[in-house]
Chains A and B, each alone.
Chain A
Amino acid sequence: MEKLILLCLKCILLCSIVEAVFEDQVGKFDWRQQYVGKVRFAHFDTHMQSSKKVLLATENNVFASLNTRTGELLWRHVDMTGPEGNIDALLQYGQDAVLMVGNGRQLRSWDINVGGLNWEIVLDSGSFQSACLVGQQDFVKHVAVLKKTVISLHYLSNGHQKWVENLPESETVDYQAVYSGGNGEVYALGVVPHSHIAIVAYSLEDGEIIKQISVEAPWLSNIQASCAVIGQGMLTCVDSAAGSLYTLDLHEQSQMTQIPLQSLGLEVTPGFQPVLVSTQPNPARPPLSEFFLQLGPEHHLLLQLSDGQIVTLRDFKPAMLVAFATPGEKTVAAVMSPKNKTACSLNLFSAESGRRLLDTTLIFNLDPNGGKPEKLHVQAFLKKDDSVGYRVMVQTEDHMLTFIQQPGRVMWTRDEALSDVVTMEMVDLPLTGTQAELEGEFGKKADGLLSMLLKRLSSQVILLQAWIAHLWKMFYDARKPRSQVKNDVTIETLSRDEFNLQKMMVMVTASGKLFGIDSKTGSIVWRHYLDNIPSNAAFKLMVQRTTAHFPHPPQCTLLIKDKDTGLATLHVFNPIFGRKSHVTPPALPQPILQSLMLPLMDQDYAKVLLLVDDQYKVSAFPSTKNVLQQLQEMASSIFFYLVDSNQGRLSGYRLRTDLSTELIWEVVMPTEVQKIVSIKGKRPNEHVHSQGRVMGDRSVLYKYLNPNLLAVVTESTDLHQERSFIGILLIDGVTGRIIHEAVQRRTRGPVHVVHSENWVVYEYWSTKSRRNEFSVIELYEGMELYNSTVFSSLDRPHAPQVLQQSYIFPSSISAMEATLTEKGITSRHLLVGLPSGGILSLPKMFLDPRRPEIVTEQSREENLIPYAPELLIRTEWFINYNQTVSRVRGIYTAPSGLESTCLVVAYGLDIYQTRVYPSKQFDVLKDDYDYMLISSVLFALFFATMISKRLAEVKLLNRAWR
Chain B
Amino acid sequence: MASPGGQGGGGALSTRGGSGARRMKWALELSLGNARSRADRQGGQGDVVYPIGFSEKPVPDTSIQETDKNLVEKRCWDVALGPLKQIPMNLFIMYMSGNTISIFPIMMVCMMAWRPIQALMSMSATFKLLESSSQQWLQGLVYLVGNLLGSALAIYKCQSMGLLPTHSSDWLAFIGPPQRMEIMGGGMVL
Q: Do A and B interact with each other, yes or no?
A: yes
On whether the beta carbons of B177 and A687 are closer than 8 Å, the reply is yes
Tell me whether A708 is interfacial, beta carbon within 8 Å.
yes
Cross-interface CB contact of A688 among B167, B177, B189, cutoff 8 Å:
B177
Cross-interface CB contact of B182 among A610, A637, A679, cutoff 8 Å:
A637
Tell me whether B184 is interfacial, beta carbon within 8 Å.
yes
The residues of B that contact A787 with a CB separation of less than 8 Å are: 178
The residues of A that contact B182 with a CB separation of less than 8 Å are: 637-639, 708, 734, 792-794
The residues of B that contact A793 with a CB separation of less than 8 Å are: 181-182, 184
Tell me whether B31 is interfacial, beta carbon within 8 Å.
no
CB-contacts of A350-409 with B (<8 A): none
On whether the beta carbons of A734 and B184 are closer than 8 Å, the reply is yes
Tell me whether B180 is interfacial, beta carbon within 8 Å.
yes
CA distance A597 to B184 in the complex (A): 9
On whether the beta carbons of A695 and B169 are closer than 8 Å, the reply is yes
CA distance A550 to B22 in the complex (A): 117
The residues of A that contact B180 with a CB separation of less than 8 Å are: 707, 790-791
On whether the beta carbons of B167 and A699 are closer than 8 Å, the reply is yes
Tell me whether A846 is interfacial, beta carbon within 8 Å.
no
Cross-interface CB contact of A692 among B172, B176, B179, B190, cutoff 8 Å:
B172
Tell me whether B21 is interfacial, beta carbon within 8 Å.
no
The residues of A that contact B173 with a CB separation of less than 8 Å are: 690
CA distance A634 to B184 in the complex (A): 12
On whether the beta carbons of A634 and B183 are closer than 8 Å, the reply is yes
On whether the beta carbons of A691 and B172 are closer than 8 Å, the reply is yes
On whether the beta carbons of B190 and A637 are closer than 8 Å, the reply is no
Tell me whether A273 is interfacial, beta carbon within 8 Å.
no
Tell me whether B49 is interfacial, beta carbon within 8 Å.
no
CA distance A637 to B181 in the complex (A): 7
On whether the beta carbons of A790 and B181 are closer than 8 Å, the reply is yes
Give the shortest distance, in Å, between B110 (CB) and chain A (any CB). 22
CA distance A638 to B178 in the complex (A): 18
Cross-interface CB contact of A640 among B172, B176, B181, B186, cutoff 8 Å:
B186
On whether the beta carbons of B186 and A788 are closer than 8 Å, the reply is no
User: Binary interface profile of A, 693-705, with partner B (CB < 8 Å = 1, else 0)?
Assistant: 0110011100001
Label chain B's interface by main secondary structure: mixed
CB-contacts of A625-644 with B (<8 A): 634, 637-644
On whether the beta carbons of B179 and A789 are closer than 8 Å, the reply is yes
Tell me whether A592 is interfacial, beta carbon within 8 Å.
yes
Nearest A-chain residue to B173, judged by Cβ: A690
On whether the beta carbons of B178 and A791 are closer than 8 Å, the reply is yes
Tell me whether A410 is interfacial, beta carbon within 8 Å.
no
Tell me whether A645 is interfacial, beta carbon within 8 Å.
yes
On whether the beta carbons of A690 and B172 are closer than 8 Å, the reply is yes
On whether the beta carbons of B185 and A597 are closer than 8 Å, the reply is yes
* Given A559-B190, A691-B172, A791-B181 contact (CB < 8 Å): yes
* Given A699-B168, A699-B169, A700-B169, A596-B177 contact (CB < 8 Å): no
User: Binary interface profile of A, 591-604, with partner B (CB < 8 Å = 1, else 0)?
Assistant: 01111111100000
Tell me whether B162 is interfacial, beta carbon within 8 Å.
yes
Nearest B-chain residue to A568, judged by Cβ: B190
Tell me whether B175 is interfacial, beta carbon within 8 Å.
yes
Tell me whether B187 is interfacial, beta carbon within 8 Å.
yes
* Given A643-B189, A698-B162, A698-B167, A598-B183 contact (CB < 8 Å): yes
Cross-interface CB contact of B177 among A699, A705, A794, cutoff 8 Å:
A705
Nearest B-chain residue to A709, judged by Cβ: B184
CA distance A794 to B183 in the complex (A): 12
Nearest A-chain residue to B177, judged by Cβ: A688
Tell me whether A538 is interfacial, beta carbon within 8 Å.
yes
Tell me whether B188 is interfacial, beta carbon within 8 Å.
yes
Number of interface residues of B (CB under 8 A): 23
Give the shortest distance, in Å, between A97 (CB) and chain B (any CB). 41
The residues of A that contact B169 with a CB separation of less than 8 Å are: 692, 694-695, 698-700
* Given A561-B190, A644-B189, A700-B169, A708-B178 contact (CB < 8 Å): no
* Given A698-B167, A700-B168, A791-B179 contact (CB < 8 Å): yes
The residues of B that contact A568 with a CB separation of less than 8 Å are: 190
On whether the beta carbons of B186 and A792 are closer than 8 Å, the reply is no
Give the shortest distance, in Å, between B173 (CB) and chain A (any CB). 7
Nearest A-chain residue to B181, judged by Cβ: A792
Tell me whether A540 is interfacial, beta carbon within 8 Å.
yes
CB-contacts of A646-703 with B (<8 A): 676, 678-679, 681, 687-688, 690-692, 694-695, 698-700
Nearest A-chain residue to B187, judged by Cβ: A594
Tell me whether A733 is interfacial, beta carbon within 8 Å.
yes
CA distance A791 to B170 in the complex (A): 23
* Given A540-B190, A698-B167, A787-B178, A707-B184 contact (CB < 8 Å): yes
CB-contacts of A607-626 with B (<8 A): 610, 612
Give the shortest distance, in Å, between B127 (CB) and chain A (any CB). 38
On whether the beta carbons of B178 and A700 are closer than 8 Å, the reply is no
Give the shortest distance, in Å, between A737 (CB) and chain B (any CB). 13
User: Binary interface profile of A, 757-797, with partner B (CB < 8 Å = 1, else 0)?
Assistant: 00000000000000000000000000001011111111000
CA distance A594 to B179 in the complex (A): 26
User: Binary interface profile of B, 157-172, with partner A (CB < 8 Å = 1, else 0)?
Assistant: 0000010000111101
The residues of B that contact A641 with a CB separation of less than 8 Å are: 184-187
Between A and B, 12 residue pairs with Cβ closer than 8 Å are: A561-B190, A592-B190, A596-B185, A599-B183, A642-B186, A643-B189, A692-B172, A695-B169, A705-B177, A707-B180, A791-B178, A792-B182
Known: A592-B190, A699-B168, A793-B184. 20 other contacts (CB 8 A): A561-B190, A593-B189, A594-B189, A594-B190, A596-B186, A643-B189, A644-B188, A676-B188, A681-B184, A687-B177, A691-B177, A698-B162, A700-B172, A705-B178, A708-B182, A734-B182, A734-B184, A790-B180, A792-B182, A793-B182
